[in-house]
């Protein structure tokens, strides 16, 4: 998980105690039924091996946008926004958030990965798994959840922070199902190169130090880097956008600022994806909640380019 991101820090610090006390709730909750007016509701879908994942899909149209949260983040990261006038305030649900905004023009899905936490500090209802988890495991769960829910490709994958590693690997290994990709201050395999060896080692040590008793998601970055580097290149001409924070923040590991390394890795990621690189975000690491309309515009642009390609 990223130290230095204020939105993430607020949520995780509150979530640790809640998860330790509430893990038993995960197994007891049942699926959410469809609402009386016929609109979609979040639902638990079977991903195999006796496990279920909560999926929240809304709207209609193709391609379907799939929102992949950062470390520890559940699907409600995409339905809430920050209050710019009160930076320390809790995030609030809002129709201007990324998910409801996109649902007005196309199909959009978000989901709760195992080990992620709702913004109110309660655990999600997806079946827990032992950590750490790799990008490949995230791709398998996402593919299974979408198939079980009957969500049809092609998909525009949108990954925030750690979620960008999952989105990137999905695009590389599922090219026939992928119509586009957007990263939102996304983690990048190039961080292993742009951080100093001391910073990378200290960051990995910090992640591995997560107490397994909390049940929190623990990403396996070294495995994800290997998986992405071993995968095929992204499809030629794939519509893509990379959004990068422009308010400096820091991983606070290994001595010295990690901000220059983060920006260098973002540039390399944009080049690797042949993506439009959006750097005027007026945001820290949590762009999706700090500037949801900028994120939604970037995603809609990729959706429109994907649609134009389908028609062509």
The verdict on residue 158 lying in a domain is yes
The verdict on residue 181 lying in a domain is yes
pLDDT for 105 equals 97
pLDDT for 7 equals 40
The verdict on residue 298 lying in a domain is yes
The verdict on residue 274 lying in a domain is yes
The verdict on residue 157 lying in a domain is yes
pLDDT for 20 equals 29
The verdict on residue 193 lying in a domain is yes
Chain mean pLDDT for the chain: 87
pLDDT for 40 equals 66
pLDDT in tens, 111-164: 999 999 999 888 788 998 888 999 999 999 999 999 999 999 999 999 999 999
Burial class (CB in 10 A: 0-12, 13-18, 19+), 94: middle
The verdict on residue 146 lying in a domain is yes
pLDDT for 37 equals 31
Q: What's this model's pTM, rounded to 2 decimal places?
A: 0.88
Residue with tokens 């699926």: 31
pLDDT for 213 equals 75
Structural domain of residue 210, as residue ranges?
Answer: 6-311
Q: Is the dihedral of CA 231, 232, 233, 235 positive or negative?
A: negative
The verdict on residue 1 lying in a domain is no
CATH classification at residue 108: 3.40.50.1820
Along the chain (312 residues), what's the average pLDDT of each consecutive run of 10 residues?
A: 39 32 29 38 91 96 98 95 86 96 98 92 86 94 97 98 98 97 97 97 93 86 97 94 98 95 98 97 97 98 94 62
Q: What total number of domains does the chain contain?
A: 1
């Amino acid at each position: 998980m990223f130290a230095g991101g204020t939105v993430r820090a607020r949520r995780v610090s509150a979530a640790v105690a809640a998860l330790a006390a509430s893990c038993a709730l995960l197994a007891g909750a049942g699926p959410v039924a469809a609402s009386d007016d016929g609109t979609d509701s979040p639902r638990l879908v079977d991903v195999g091996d006796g496990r279920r994942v909560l999926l929240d899909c809304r709207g209609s149209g193709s391609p379907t946008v799939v929102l992949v949260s950062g470390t520890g983040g559940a699907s409600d990261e995409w339905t809430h926004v920050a209050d710019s006038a009160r930076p320390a305030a809790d995030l609030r649900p809002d129709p201007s958030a990324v998910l409801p905004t996109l649902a007005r023009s196309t199909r959009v899905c978000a989901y709760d990965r195992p080990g992620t936490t709702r913004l109110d500090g309660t655990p999600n209802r997806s079946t827990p798994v032992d950590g750490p988890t790799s990008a490949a495991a995230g791709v398998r769960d996402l593919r299974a959840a979408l198939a079980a829910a009957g969500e049809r490709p092609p998909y525009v994958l949108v990954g925030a922070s750690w979620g960008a590693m999952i989105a990137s690997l999905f695009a590389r290994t599922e090219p026939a199902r992928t119509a586009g990709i957007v990263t939102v201050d996304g983690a990048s395999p190039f961080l292993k190169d742009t951080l100093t060896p001391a910073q990378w080692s200290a960051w990995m040590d910090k992640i591995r130090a997560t107490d397994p008793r909390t049940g929190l998601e623990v990403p396996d970055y070294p495995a994800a880097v290997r998986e992405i580097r071993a995968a095929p290149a992204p499809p030629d001409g794939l519509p893509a956008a990379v959004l990068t924070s422009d308010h400096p923040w820091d991983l606070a590991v290994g001595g010295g600022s990690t901000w220059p390394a983060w920006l260098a890795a973002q540039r390399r990621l944009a080049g690797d994806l042949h993506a439009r690189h959006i750097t005027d975000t007026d945001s820290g690491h949590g762009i999706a909640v700090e500037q949801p309309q900028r994120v939604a515009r970037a995603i809609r642009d990729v959706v429109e380019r994907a649609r134009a390609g389908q028609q062509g």
